[in-house]
Each structure stands twice: as C-alpha cells, then as structure tokens.
Structure 1
C-alpha cells in the first residue's frame, strides 16, 4: 500500500499557539449514514479511543467532556493507546475492509459558515485522515503518521448564499442541520481505505485545522482492517451489529433512514440548501430518463460520482445502421476521468481534444440498469467549489432520437375547439442534429392548423390524431412557440390529454 506524505504535516508538527477559541472531536468512527442530518446512536458501530469516557452513547451528542485536543509532535492523541481498556462492548473498536468508504461524525461546536444563522467567514483550514503503522504498539510521534486522505476545506468567504447554505460540503462544515443547533449539530465526513491495504490493526488520526493550518485538533482511534467485506460483516454480526456499508442520506437511505443502522429519527427532506446540490440526485442535461450523473464525494483534487444508465438504454438510433455514443463533459478542466463498474472493471473511454470523454454504445448496452462509478481528478483551484457543480455535468447521447416533453396550452377555448401555443425551448436553436415537434391528440377526428411552423403530417398519421410539425430556419430564430387552432366534435379533451414532444435525431 502506497500512502504519500503531505506537506501539511510539517505545519501540524510545528503547532503554533491557538489563535482563537474553537474545538471539536470525533464522536463515531463507523457511522452508517453519510450526509445525515440528525445524530442516531443506533447508527454508530464503532467509537474513538476512550469513547465510553468521552463520547458515551448515553450523553447528548456534542456534550463537552474535555475530549477536544490540540495534538503535539510527542503526543498526537488525547489519551495514550490502550486497546484493552479504551474500548468496551458498548463502545467497540472499528472493523474495516480494504476499499471501504468509512463515515465518521463530529459535533459542529458553532464552527460552520452558514449565512442562515452565522456568517460566511467562519474558517476551515484543513481536514485530513492520517494512519499509523500496521500492528504498531504505542502511538508514534505525530510525524510518524502518514496521510491517508485529504478531505478538503469547506467554502468560506465572499460567496453567494446558494453555495454557503448548500449541503453536502467538503471539509469540516458538512452539517445540513447546523442552524437548528449550532453547538451540537451532526456533521459527517468520509474517507476510503486503499483497496490494497494489508489486513492488520491500525491507529487512525483525524486532524482538523480551524483558524489556521497550525490550529489543529486531533482525535485518534484504532481499527482492525480485515481481508474482505464478508469478513467485516461477520465480525459485526458476531457482536450483534448490522452489517453492510453506509448509505447516503441524499440518495439511497430510504428517505433518510439508514439501510444498515438503527432507527433514523430523521426522515423528510434532505435539507440541502440549493436546488442544484450535487448529492440531490437531480438529473443532468442529456437523454431524459436515460443517463444521469450525481457526485457522491468531493475532495481537494478528486471527485467521485455515479452515472446511472436506465434499463431501456439505448434510445432509438437516428441512423439504424450506425451505433451512437455518449459524450460526458465536466464543467471544469480535468486531468483524467475513469469510468468503472464496481472497483475494478474499467469501461473504456476516449478523451477528445476539447475535454469530452466518449463512451461507446457497445460498452454501455451490457450495463443498462446499472451504475458506473466515475472518478475525476483535477488540479488545485480548478475543480468544483461545491456539489452544485454536479448539476452542470453534461451527458449527451449522440446519434440517437431523443424526446423532450413540451408545454401545450390553450389561450382561448370555445365549444368544440380552441386556440393556443406549443412552447419551444431556446436550446433547439443550437441542436446539432435534426429536430421536429410531434403532437398526439386523444381522438383523431379533428381539424388542426398551425402557424410559426409547417405541418408535415401524413394522412395516415392524421387518421391516428398524430401531427408532425417543423419550423423553417427564420421562424426558429425569431419565435419561441408554435401557434395552433384545433376544432373537434368527436370527443372532449383537456390540455393534459394532449402530448406534445420535441424530437431530436442527434448528430
């Protein structure tokens, strides 16, 4: 296992004096709900060192017991290592497996920049997970720990409220319900163990820098890393705990209830502050109900996400003799993007000169109904500043027929008919391929006339109540709708009974 050192360690070792009051600590070292809103002791499967003394399950979450600690070179942890006495049956040691994404918790202790209840300028200067040697004895010096993962920093400063009040966040301040209880709100973070991490017992260290990179608080805990997820689950079941990996409150926790932990006590809305929050699971541009993208983790130089492929992929080809492809474009320059199934099966992709990653239809069809894990690496300062960037990842099926619903409404109604509009999107003006509008009525015996468009329906289509309309170029550039009149005597229908669709034939 290769774990690189980080330049920030020198700053941790130096440990300048504290600049202002501030404190926090790790309260749970294996929580079964990522990005959760409310603390639930039933979802905590493991505790930090001396947890029964300092973070007992019986106490209110975030209660001050003197557990906050400024780590020092000669004493990196609040208490000395004592595996036999620092853990109990009610407050057990963690059990992990290589490749596991581990979720941990800590109280906010008033240290979150959220204009909804504090301000934009509460600092976060770093949030890292370090690890000691395998099967070590006493704690090493602080410089003897190795950086396992840099968890990034939370957004602070002169930024819009849509960013500052949006969750999840990278870094320390990922607490969706902070404004409900600024002192004791639940915050969660997560890190992933290397897939080649050797089984053994390790000491982990959380380092959070508050006012400056040198104003650093630490918490320590031990964990047994076992060979596989199955072995981890067996260990958990033997001590009467639920197995399985952590779910994400915003995407797969069954409306806020963990699939693996105890009772939730949460439920309801996700609590994210902005409509474009990256973990909200909102669909991106592209093929409706066909491909979607959402970030699941955001760190300093790497973001991970999931790309979902619908069970009915691919859509109809624009040319039956030519397979299509899927283009993925990120809203920032990336070093590379890796698309994979699970942890090892990489799906080939080709990067174009303008930074688009191309996936072939042949590689994606066998994965219909599945999800791809996407890992994106980027340089400092060019990546997404918050999860809302996920809403701007563009996934574009190329070479397919796509259907986009349109608004159809009456401006005037009269007996047996009416006059109205079909509203067209501005995006049609820059579509790379052919497009037209299809309108289907619930009964065929009618007279349908249009302006700002040309009716190109066949007699057979009209006999089924279906109409095909195209816009000449000058009307495409100068109007944003198709006007119509319809006269019908065979049946009565409402606007919602009419289906209007923009059909795109791709490149």
Structure 2
C-alpha cells in the first residue's frame, strides 16, 4: 500500500470516528444505581454500584461504559414520530436499537448474560445512570429526561401516548460526573422516588430523553415493587438537592 493511500485510509477512519462521535446518542445504562456514600453524589464506578439494569442489558459483554452505541445491536433507540413505539423492538424507530420489549416470562430479560432486574419498595429512591455521549456540553440545551411509571402493575407495555400521562419525574440530562477531555464517556444520572401509592407488583418503567424538538430516545426496564415493611422504608441511595425528582 502506498504512503498516499495509507494516509487516505487513516484520514477516512478518523473522519468516520468523528462522525460517529457527533451522532452518538444515549440510553439508560444502570436503572438502580446506588452511591457508596449516600450523602455524596457520583456516577463513576468509584462513586457507586449498579443493582439493576434495563431489559436485556449485556452485562457479560465486557463492553466499556458508553460504548454500546457501536455494538450490534446498539443500545440507543430513537423513536419514529410516525408511531412512537414506547420500547425498542429492534425493528421500528429511526434508530432501531436493541430489543427492549416485554418478555414472557419477564425473567427472560434478566440474569445470565443480562443484568439483574431492579426492585424496591414504594417510597424508595431510585437512581438511573446514562452516558453523556457528547450531549452534556455547554452549547447544548438540556431538555431533560422523563421517567414514566404506570399507576398499577403492568401486563403489557403501555403505548407512548399513555406513558406521556404517567410521568413521575423529570431529571436533568446534564447532571454528570465530568471526565476531563472525554465528553463521550462522561457518566450522568438522576434520582426519582417510586410513588408511595404503588402497590406490590412488577411495573414497566421508561427513561425518555429529548435531544432536539420531537427527537426522543428511550430505554425500558421492569421494576419489581415489593411490599412495604411496617417501619418507614429507607432510601437505598441519597438524592442530592440539585436533582429534580418531580414535576
């Protein structure tokens, strides 16, 4: 291969990498993130640990945090405004993403090569983590992350138009533990409370992020709500004052 051709190949690869970075979009990485110090917020591995994951999250793939946009299938799912399918089925959407539809039984989406299903009690604080993917920078507007949860246990995934009426929290997308020089893999997150009126059962929960006007990305998971104890339930993680946990 000539020196000129070698330089061309290297340049093309570099440009492809930059385009991929510019087009990278986010997803929910961990859906039950717990701080090692409940009084200290942090989204990097030194600050906490994950106890629950989105549906079919490939925890055994050893893919580094934030790199599942280049995996096959990738995790970022952009809804198509023509149908707004609530959870990716790997087929629909402007970016199909990975299959996050409800499994039968639900356990098929968890365990083994997949992550653990999240659980908690009504009133518990739950924290969710996601990679910034270059979109938590100063020149981008923070349109927020919306957390939706039905009022009663689910037997099927609600339609998006119904989930829009089930929003229980709006979180700041740009609430991150900044990594100097790497706006792609910077970890971000936010916390919300499981509503106190939720009865024991398994609920579908949706993470929905608006990047631009009517440009939505979602991640879905199942949350097992256990019966409350007689004593006041304790939060599993602290919720810093700068997080917006309600509407």
TM-score, structure 2 length as denominator? Answer: 0.70
Q: Does 2:206 match 1:205? A: yes
Distance 1:139 1:300 in 2: 23
Query: What is the CA distance between 1:246 and its match in structure 2?
Result: 1.3
| Alignment correspondent of 1:61 | 65
The DSSP-based 3-state class of the residue aligned with 2:161 is helix
| Alignment correspondent of 1:81 | 102
Structure 2 unaligned blocks of 5 or more? 1-21, 89-98
The DSSP-based 3-state class of the residue aligned with 1:129 is strand
Do the aligned partners of residues 37 and 130 (structure 1) sit closer, same or farther apart at CA in structure 2, a change above 3 Å counting? closer
Q: Indicate conservation of the 8 Å contact 1:206/1:219, yes or no.
A: yes
Structure 1 unaligned blocks of 5 or more? 1-19, 114-119, 153-170, 234-242, 249-278, 280-294, 302-507
Q: Trace 1:378-397 onto structure 2 (pairs within 5 A).
A: none
The DSSP-based 3-state class of the residue aligned with 2:23 is coil
The DSSP-based 3-state class of the residue aligned with 2:155 is coil
* Rg larger in structure: 1
Do the aligned partners of residues 190 and 42 (structure 1) sit closer, same or farther apart at CA in structure 2, a change above 3 Å counting? closer
Q: Trace 1:27-426 onto structure 2 (pairs within 5 A).
A: 27-33=29-35, 35-39=41-45, 43-52=49-58, 56=60, 58-63=62-67, 64=69, 65=71, 66-72=74-80, 73=83, 75-78=85-88, 79=99, 80-82=101-103, 83-88=106-111, 91-113=115-137, 120-132=138-150, 134-145=152-163, 146-152=165-171, 171-212=172-213, 214-228=214-228, 245-247=236-238, 295=241, 297-298=243-244
Query: What is the CA distance between 1:23 and its match in structure 2?
Result: 0.9
TM-score, structure 1 length as denominator? Answer: 0.36
Distance 2:167 2:237 in 1: 19
Distance 1:40 1:300 in 2: 27
Query: What is the CA distance between 1:178 and its match in structure 2?
Result: 3.8
Q: Indicate conservation of the 8 Å contact 1:45/1:92, yes or no.
A: yes
Query: What is the CA distance between 1:180 and its match in structure 2?
Result: 4.4
Do the aligned partners of residues 56 and 36 (structure 1) sit closer, same or farther apart at CA in structure 2, a change above 3 Å counting? farther
Q: Please give the per-residue CA displacement for 1:107-149, whole angstroms capped at 9, x wherever unaligned.
A: 0101112xxxxxx321222311012363323322211224332
Distance 2:84 2:210 in 1: 18
| Alignment correspondent of 2:28 | 26
Distance 1:138 1:186 in 2: 31
Larger relative contact order (Cα-Cα within 8 Å, sequence gap ≥ 6): 2
Do the aligned partners of residues 226 and 37 (structure 1) sit closer, same or farther apart at CA in structure 2, a change above 3 Å counting? closer
Do the aligned partners of residues 98 and 61 (structure 1) sit closer, same or farther apart at CA in structure 2, a change above 3 Å counting? same
Do the aligned partners of residues 211 and 296 (structure 1) sit closer, same or farther apart at CA in structure 2, a change above 3 Å counting? closer
How many residue pairs get matched?
Answer: 200
Q: Please give the per-residue CA displacement for 1:291-311, whole angstroms capped at 9, x wherever unaligned.
A: xxxx3533575xxxxxxxxxx
The Cα RMSD (Å) is: 2.9
Distance 2:144 2:242 in 1: 20
Distance 1:192 1:202 in 2: 14
